[in-house]
Amino acid sequence: MSDTYLNLVNSGFTKKVAQQLGLPRPAQLRRFRPGQPLVDGPVLVLGSGTEAESLAHLLSGTGLDDGGAVRGWDLDVRRTPAADERYAAVVLVLTDVQHPDDLAGPVLTAGGVLKGLAPGARVVTLSRPATADDGPALAAARQGVDGVLRSLAKELRGGATANGVVVADGVPVDAPSALGALRFFLSTRSAFVDGQLLTVGSDAGTLPADWDQPLAGRVAVVTGAARGIGASIAATLARDGATVVAVDVPAAGEQLAAVANSVRGTALQLDVTGPDAGQKILDHATARHGRLDIVVHNAGITRDKLLANMTPEKWDPVLAVNVDAPLRINEALVESGDFTDAPRIVALASTSGIAGNRGQTNYAASKGGVIGMVRATAPLLTAFGGTANAVAPGFIETEMTARIPALTRQVARRLNSLQQGGQPIDVAETVAFLASPQAGGIMGQTLRVCGQNMVGQ
């Protein structure tokens, strides 16, 4: 659905009027198009120590690693700021901070260039997690990075975003998933991901030989694929090289067939709540395509009602579709012995499952359940090089949100740092990243696609 206000304040005469009146002017976000550069302008890499230096060298260099994957990204990297430079990205390598006082130098240096950032710029931090085993000063410094990042994201304008990669102790900053996450956050694929910290827990995963086709040779199942976010996920996975099995209920058969044909995949009409849904998905994928590598649990429903008026007829179906079905499907896949080649499970959660939402206790229970599900499922897949993660959308422009009353819809759009709703492609890009080989060290995480809600996390 189109955001009329956003379009008006960014075009012609109404743009000038909005400027004169001081009205909020959300930026028109730059989203990914094949063939565009990763970063369109110079990249400032800040931080001291060998990790900052090696990362700067990798971002600026060219060449192949031993496996034939491109190691250098051939970016225009700068190590010291210039007053007259307009940076497309700033990377703060903060993995060596030991005390809160260590934050001042690199953070304030970054602050000095923020006013000159290019539209749609990216700020990315790399840090280590604060744990109970850290000394108090070290834990304070590391946790301080989180506060800096989340606050900075709320200060940026012009469609710029700030996100962080948290690299576990013992994992190098040039591990495949650390680089994969950095690249995702630097790119326009992450246009509506803002103020988020993503943990890389291991050095698992591989860098693709072709960053434009990281899913080549992989077979992916997408449930709820007939329209909206599901259709966008199917198209994005196919764009990235995957063969897609589009799944939806028989009633959506015509739309489902259209989606499957558009991505040159196959359609499977199926009620995911059926007790044998997992086996049917596996049988279809292996019979038609010889394998199954990726499962995206996108199918979901809402039955909103205040808890005081909630009934089993409104509670039970939401839990059945949104979390019970993925649980059974995952169990069938894990037990089959045929889902073992670096498999990926990506499930759709929601910010409602994190922060709650009035009238959605059933939906929030199901989506909070999804977050718990992937956290507990991830360890079951590590022996096979697999992962399970979740994507939590905020306000996304879909048929469902188009039915929200107009005033409520406008308020919902503006209550994030980017002051607008996301698009289905924003969710799809994040799903595609988590399904990719370079995300193999990201396990049991939930990445929000919400433009950074202004209140709460």
Tell me what pLDDT residue 71 has.
Answer: 57
How far does Cα 99 stand from its chain's mean position? 30
Q: CA-to-CA distance for 319 and 342, rounded, in angstroms?
A: 29
pTM: 0.94
Tell me what pLDDT residue 412 has.
Answer: 81
Catalytic residues: 363
SS (H, E, C) 357-381: CCCCHHHHHHHHHHHHHHHHHHHHH
Q: What are the beta bridge partners of residue 248? A: 269
Residue 68 to residues 35, 301, 341, 433, 447: CA-CA distances in angstroms? 21, 44, 20, 20, 30
Q: CA-to-CA distance for 185 and 1, rounded, in angstroms?
A: 25
> Each residue's pLDDT tens digit in the chain (457 positions)?
677 777 777 777 777 766 766 667 788 999 999 989 999 999 999 998 899 999 999 999 854 455 544 457 999 999 999 988 999 999 999 999 999 999 999 999 999 999 999 999 999 999 999 999 999 999 999 999 999 999 999 999 999 999 999 999 999 999 999 999 999 999 999 999 999 999 999 999 999 999 999 999 999 999 999 999 999 999 999 999 999 999 999 999 999 999 999 999 999 999 999 999 999 999 999 999 999 999 999 999 999 999 999 999 999 999 999 999 999 999 999 999 999 999 999 999 999 999 999 999 999 999 999 999 999 999 999 999 999 999 999 999 887 777 777 777 777 888 899 999 999 999 999 999 999 999 999 999 999 999 998 644 4
> Which domains does the chain carry?
35-200 (3.40.50.720), 219-449 (3.40.50.720)
DSSP state of 166: E
